[in-house]
Structure 1
Amino acid sequence: MDTNKTYFITGAAGFIGFYLSKKLLEQGCKVIGIDNLNDYYDVNLKYNRLDQLKPLDNFTFIEGDISNKEAVTNVFEKYKPNIVVNLAAQAGVRYSIENPDVYIQSNVIGFYNILEACRHYPVDHLVYASSSSVYGANKKVPFEESDFVDTPVSLYASTKKSNELMAYTYSHLYKFPATGLRFFTVYGPMGRPDMAYFGFTDKYFNRESIKIFNNGDFENDLYRDFTYIDDIVEGIERLLSNPPTGGKTVPHKVFNIGNNNPEKLMVFIETLEKALSNSLGREVQFEKVFEPIKPGDVPATYASTDQLQKAVGFKPTTSIEEGLQQFADWYVEYYKVK
């Protein structure tokens, strides 16, 4: 990494933002982080992540919201970042059905403010989070970046698709390089409690049953491309210093970052039970309740990672056995459960 450059990371107290900031800081980079520390999930987890970042040299934290244009402009004016990584977003497919306003605020207006700032304070590279949800209910697998993505099935997916369109337009008009990353079900220690694997674990220790939205149909179970956090961070890190070049084309590219190895949801759950059993030294079994698939959910996510491999020679490698064991060990330690 170029340690002479200043990195501006939005959503720095978030799951991916925290791990990326930590990795860059450990390499001696200067990182400016912003986060609004909202209470969409347990804020203590966000403070805990920040507590690990604050002692590191070259880290500046700003509590602020990217949907506040002035807050964003002030960061660019004061710190003049060279590379911007936009990871701040209102996440979650199901929550977008209950609370659409926050998705437009954060994911559309917030991202517009970032683009405007990159336009007025030119940057070397803008990297931003998109999502595998842009593929909607595509039947063709694996999902490739060239696939048709005009049929989103949730507002969250629509906001992420709009980010890709907005970034393309700004790259075209103002010639700054931008790279969109379609993340596929990211998991790991200190992850997001709203994600299924984390929620299942919480419910087990609260002696509650878990809901599985696949109608109990094991033949046609939901498939997910689960991607371990370290793989996500390495993929981002490699792309940071490889901005798309212009020439006759627009300097904008989109990449899948997924495991290229989808797992049945039931296999994932069994692996999580085994990992928790290992961490606790006793057998763990979830009590399961099967329900119909929820609106906005898609039956399968499966990433083709050929483009990423071609661009930066990287393909995620962490197995769910290894990744879920890391999560289970962290969870048992962090929450002091027995």
Structure 2
Amino acid sequence: MTEVSMRARDAMTEDISLLAFLSHYLDRELPARPPRADHMPWGWEGHILFADMLVRGVRPRLLVELGTHTGVSFFAFCEAVRAAWLPTRCIAVDTWKGDEQAGFYGEEVYADVAAHAEAHYPLIATLMRMPFDEALASMDEASIDILHIDGLHTYDAVRHDFDAWLPKVRPGGIVLLHDVAEQREGFGVWKLWLEIAPLSPETCRFPHSHGLGVWRKPGGPALDDVFLRALLASGPEASAAVQAMILHLHRQMRCRRQLAERDEQARDLDRRRHAAETACADLHTRLADLHAYLADLEQRQASLMASRSWRMTRPLRAIAAWARSVLAGHAGRAGRD
């Protein structure tokens, strides 16, 4: 076998392995929404599927997120860890007070996130309620396998977070930067991305859902995961193709969930319609019973008025009616007096 044919065989084997990996997501469902996410913008929704793929590819021992808010991204990572049966520790660092970009909020957000973490991921999730810099002392050098930075998005803030936390990421570890596609006033992650992307040969940038930059810290061993190799180390064309497949799979999952939700809404409407029809039928039955009862009363009244005793007591009824009118008249005059 020539060298060219061996390379072609290896490339075909790589492609088959990648397709086999992606095929596992053809009939998968998106994880359930975390608390409060239904009432707030889902800025991270389009990356949930990638979070699962990334966790399965890296198989991290430690994953740290800076900036959690309602927990859309953090619980996506936790769910990926749970589904893959990994011994990963997921740590969320946040003050849960908000900022000038995300808005400020009360204790109810942290309470819901903490309750959700305890109920669903007690052995996976750890919440550290403090500023990012205070949490640095709790992390060993080069211990983090995946770092997700999603705090304040000004250039100075995200530059500081990246520089302060990079020594905590192991060589070959993954740094995720959300909002790399946002260039609105006050957002500077895109600028940081332009500065750091050339520093690593293994990066990619998702443009959807406000943008997500994936940056591999130099110095680690060669990637041994077929998905990560295709995404980060096989050139821009291969990376773009993988990104397109991920987005297509995500849209399929989202459509299936929307259809399932609409089916449930239709079933609920059908149950309510059936209940209304049952109540209506019951009212018709009761109305028919009332009509029958009224007809029976009318028949009895007619029978009574046609009876001999009714005719014989007619003078007595007339006298009684006259007496009542007389008494009523006396009572009226007494009242005026």
TM normalised by structure 2 equals: 0.42
Higher radius of gyration, 1 or 2: 2
